[in-house]
Structure 1
Amino acid sequence: MVWLALLGLKLPAVALLAVPALAFTHVSAALSFPAIVVLVAGSRRLAELSREAHRRWVGVGIERPYPPRPALERTEQGWYWTGYDYHRRRAMAAVSLWFNWVGRDPATWRDLLWLAADPVVGTVLLLGGLRAHAAWTRALLAPAGSARLGARVRQLTDTRAEALDAQAAELERIERDLHDGAQARLVAIQLTLGLARRRLRKDPDGADELVREARETAAEAVRQLRDLVHGIRPPVLTERGLVDALRLLALEHPLAVTVTADLPGRPAPPLESAVYFAAAELLTNVAKHARAGGAALSVVHSGGMLRLAVSDDGIGGADPAGGTGLEGVRRRLRPFDGTLTVDSPPGGPTIATLEVPCALSSPRISSC
């Protein structure tokens, strides 16, 4: 049972609390430093396990409050460290950095407070109800105040950098496609028409053949330009809205895809594009990896959230870290504070759900 599993996490906490007591009351004070390291590292590990247990078993998500580990930078004096002295000073700098990192972090002290109080308080609350225990755990182990603000700033910094990188990559792709595709064909049309003009009087039949070739090249250039525009923002998305764009996406899919939608308005154009291409990537994953016979796509808006789910009856086992494009979908949604969750047990079915906070501004333009 869930409460027994949560109760079992309190036994290592009791054992961990005995470490500093044993270190400070026995042979040498030299054991005090290892005891502190074990106590802090162990409390963080148990806190992480408790957060994961509440997310997986109770359905309560508790964010990590810790700032990223600072890097050990070499000072000007460091260039002159040699041999044993260099390694000794580097080790001392690493220890000092570690103590500053964990000692100045309020989350460290909250973890230690939780470690000391949870075996008693947590056990009493756990016997009273899982939700009361979850509220207690969240109160001490979730980010608070400056930690939450710092995490938000780091998240915004990361998403801004990702958005800029994605924009640069997209511009590079457009430039490359134009240079290697439509631009090259337009140059070929210009050369072909020049040859046709020279042959027009002496060899009308040959000129006519060159004009026909130029027309075929122009048609191919138009096709490539249409594909390029479709890759930036599909015209159906601009003209008909997200729902009809998803329906067209389903019709073009090699598998049978059913679409259900409840979208009483339209998101902002950038978000609309992000959700559309995220859905396209998820459906592409189904075709490539799922070995499915069919798929379903649903999109709804409620409570200020846009939710899109793609499910299939395939073999399951989708791993976001396995290179199946799921991490790319997460990066696409991150600038909009969107999330992607994947439920894909071995043997299936697989359900990928993305959620994005948004407001619908204009009435939807749809065929139904």
Structure 2
Amino acid sequence: MGSTTSTTQWLHSEVLDRSLWADNPEYLLTIPPRISKYNERSDDASVQLQIDVAGKENVGVVDGAITSVGGLAALMYPDCLPDRMAVTSYVLETTFIWDDLNIPEPDEVAIKDSESNTRKDVNIFHHPSMKARLKQAFSKGVAAVSRIDPILGPNVLETWKDWRLAETDIRGNFFKWTSLDQYVEVRVRDIGYPCVIAMGLFSCNLKITPEEEAIALQIAWPLHAQGVYSNDYYSWFKELRAHQESGGKIPIINSVKLLQRLEGLSVEEARARLREKSLEMEAEYHRRKKEYFEANADKGISPALVRYLDYHEEYATGHVIWCLNSYRNNSPGGDEYRAYYAKRVAEGAIFWDNPSQSEDILTDGYQVRYLQK
């Protein structure tokens, strides 16, 4: 089906190699995914965050945003401005560190420790300096976002806090829900969709009116639900493994588990249902978008609204492509992170030793500096 007609000019991205998604039954969308022309900056910033938190000798301690086909920021925000890619990726990488470290949040909001920790007794996680370095790196990233854009930047932090609080909400109600719809309403917050949107607006410097935002969110809601279904589809086996290896201490929060309880489906049947729901939600999004465009053709449609909807499509495609190819879901252990870091160092790329060396995310501002040859 793909996207309906768009006037957005994609200045900083290109369609991802079709061999990576076209005709792949595991790609749970029909919209073509895009990737930023500045993916290297995205991956470099992910590595820099890990250095800032765990040190150069521990790059790969967490499998985060980097994949074999592109970084999460480059895939979800393909039209991110070149000078915002590094900080966007740096902040996104923080989410994975938080999930795996199982420690209080850097801003000390009263939130229970993450229950989604899938790592076991990695000594560096328990080093006394780890919490301090994470807080420092988080503060550096948030300060950079607000410094770059005093208008859009602060909202990133506000939605971030809401995302972390949502984890408590979903774990307290998972066994009370009687429908997928009830679950999705809360799970959208739990997977951080409001934060995804706020970061997307910042990354592309898109400023919209409250009226435009309300219209767009009503049209794009099915894509948010699709994000829940696809997330649960791809992460099921990782979540199950973590649950089993923890002796049941790590709970499974997943649509598959809910469908097993509500309808008695097998794992295969439940995952097939999630595939169907993912594609149904995309179709519903296109229906809503087409209906709105046709009804308002004579009045004129704001270019900002069109861009905003296009960006929602790329949030969805980037998430799906990332899930399909992430080391986190498919080959955890950090080897690929270490290999990428070693390659970049061999190419002469210079990284900061710690977050206090500079307020800049990377050594040449929004990209790395290289050794003089």
Structure number with higher helix proportion? 1
**Per chain length, whose mean CA-contact separation is higher, i.e. which structure has more relative contact order (CA < 8 Å, sep 6+)?**
2
- TM-score, shorter chain, exceeding 0.5: no
Coarse TM-score class (shorter-chain normalised): under 0.3
Structure ID, larger Rg: 1
TM-score, with length taken from structure 2: 0.22
